[in-house]
């Protein structure tokens, strides 16, 4: 069974010390994280940098939209061939408007879908949490599969100066 504990800090320095302490105590990267109410500069707590693929979604959506738009505009013009102003039936400049709009449309839809997958939202099991985090406090949360390490984590948090430790 997965359990988690949360150490609460008022200042960023001790929270960063706790993160360092957890690394030194042998806790695996990805089993502990920092919770903040405002985005600190990346790497401020020496935290693990998780990989995400959010940027792939709009690119993928835009490619699909662009491809569909070429198909739609070309098929329409080939199905109803009509020479306008002496231009070729398949005129790229005449197709650009629809191509642009469909690319944007598919890009936005794919981004929304990407957010659902990549933002870890909705977070159905938020685990241990404290409402003071949105008031500027900083939380260091550790997740365990093995409860024997809880005491080690508490020691690290206490040593770093956690003002409170909560269990879930």
Partner 1 sequence: MASEAVAHASDHHAPPPNVDANVVAKELIASTTNASARFKTIVWILGILGIIGIVSLILKWIDQGDDSTKWGYVASLVSFLLAVCGGAPMVAMAPVMAKANWVRPITRLAAMFSFGSLVTIIMLIPLVALLPPLVYEGTRRRSIWFEAPDYAPHIWSVIGLLLLFITGLMLFYSAAIPDFASMRDHSTGWRQRWGKRLARGWVGTDIQWRTLRMRIGMFGTFYFLILVFVTFLISTDYGQSVIPGSRDAIYPMSLTISSFQGGVAAIVIALYFSRKWMNLEKFVHLDAFWSLSRLLFALTLLWVYFFYSSFIVFWYGRSANDIATLDLLIRGPMVYAFIAGAILIWFIPWWILIWNRVRRGTTAMVVGAFIILIGLMLDRIRYFVSAWSVPQDQIHQKWLKVIPETYFPNVYDILIIIGGISLAAMLIMLVTRVIPVLSVWQVQEFNLLAKPIRYVRGHATLVAKPD
In terms of CB distance, is 97 or 163 closer to partner 1?
97
Pairing assessment for the beta strands 32-35 and 3-9 based on DSSP bridges: unpaired
Residue with tokens 């939209």: 65
Residue with tokens 């879908």: 113
Q: Helices (H), strands (E): how many in the chain?
A: 4, 4
In terms of CB distance, is 4 or 21 closer to partner 1?
4
Q: Does 86 bind partner 1 (CB under 8 A)?
A: no
CA distances from 4 to 59, 66, 146 (A): 36, 45, 10
Q: Does 56 bind partner 1 (CB under 8 A)?
A: no
Annotate 104-133 with DSSP letters as a single string: HHHHHHHHHHHHHHHS--S-S---S--GGG
In terms of CB distance, is 118 or 154 closer to partner 1?
118
Q: Does 121 bind partner 1 (CB under 8 A)?
A: yes
In terms of CB distance, is 1 or 121 closer to partner 1?
121
State yes or no: cis peptide before 122, omega within 30 of 0. yes
| Nearest distance from C-beta of residue 98 to partner 1, angstroms | 7
| Nearest distance from C-beta of residue 160 to partner 1, angstroms | 18
Q: Among 111, 29, 20, which Cα is nearest to 65's?
A: 111
| Nearest distance from C-beta of residue 95 to partner 1, angstroms | 8
Residues in touch with partner 1 (CB under 8 A) = 33-42, 47-50, 52, 54-55, 58, 73, 76-77, 80, 82, 84-85, 87, 89, 91, 93-94, 97-98, 100-101, 104-105, 107-108, 111-112, 115, 118-127, 129, 131-136, 139, 141
């Amino acid at each position: 069974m997965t359990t988690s504990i949360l150490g609460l800090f008022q200042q960023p320095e001790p929270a960063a010390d706790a993160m360092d302490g957890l690394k030194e105590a042998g806790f695996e990267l990805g089993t502990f994280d920092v919770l903040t109410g405002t985005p600190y500069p990346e790497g401020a707590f020496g935290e693990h940098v998780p990989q995400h693929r959010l940027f792939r979604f709009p690119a993928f959506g835009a490619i699909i939209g662009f491809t569909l738009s070429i198909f739609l505009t070309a098929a329409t013009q080939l199905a109803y061939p009509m020479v306008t102003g002496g231009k070729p039936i398949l005129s790229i400049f005449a197709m650009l408007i629809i191509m642009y709009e469909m690319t944007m449309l598919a890009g936005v839809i794919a981004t929304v879908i990407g957010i659902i997958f990549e933002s870890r939202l909705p977070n159905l099991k938020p685990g241990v949490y404290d409402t003071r985090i949105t008031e500027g406090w900083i939380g260091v949360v550790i997740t365990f599969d093995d409860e024997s390490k809880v005491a080690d984590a508490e020691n690290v948090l206490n040593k770093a100066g956690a003002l409170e430790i909560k269990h879930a």
